[in-house]
A = this chain, B = another copy of it.
Amino acid sequence: MSTRARSEERRADIVRAALEVIAERGYRGASMAAIAERVGLTQQGLLHYFPTKDALLVAVLKERDQWDAVPDSPWRLDLLAALVEYNAMRPGIVQTFSALLGESVTEDHPARGFFTERYERVRASMTGVLRDRYGERLPGGLTPERAAPLLVAVMDGLQYQWLLDPEAVDMPGAFSDFVKLLGGAAEAPCEQEETAD
């Protein structure tokens, strides 16, 4: 293996270790010493690859396909459901994402800009997904633009409930319920059954 390839591989190992340590302690609680130890380097050795903790965070955030898969290609609603199924099999990555998102709203957090831009992009992308699937009008008279932040909120909010209590919360099932809700008008019967009082 060339020196360059070895160096790339080592960088990838470090980013993976950082993802783990952030999942465990959050970004503010993740020390460079703990990350170095996880990957079997001295702290000095780690600084050779990433001179600051923020530089390492940038590399972690660039691994965004870890949570967004292929955000620049066109998405479909059934692929989103498959992504949620996939996420349910990798709690570590979901935990890293959720811990960082939570921290990002605190003052001067280095990931704040990343998440602000990410959500702007994801809402726009989800608007397109919803328009492709449902056209201009969703149940309750919602436009795709107005339903998009709800779709994103459901995905994020379910992750916290599921991480806290995986036995009680069926994340993929709940997401698929939300998709049913979006298709509700199409499926709802016109003759409502009378319910006994």
Contact = CB atoms under 8 A, between A and B. Distances in A.
A165 interface: yes
A177 B182 CA distance: 12
B152 A157 contact: yes
* Copies of the protein in its oligomer: 2
Nearest to A170: B149
13 contacts: A26-B26, A26-B28, A26-B106, A99-B105, A102-B102, A102-B105, A104-B164, A115-B160, A139-B187, A146-B177, A153-B153, A156-B157, A181-B184
Interface of A: 23-26, 28-29, 95, 98-107, 112, 115-116, 119-120, 123, 135-136, 138-142, 146-147, 149-150, 152-158, 160-161, 163-165, 168-169, 173-174, 177-178, 180-188, 190, 192, 195
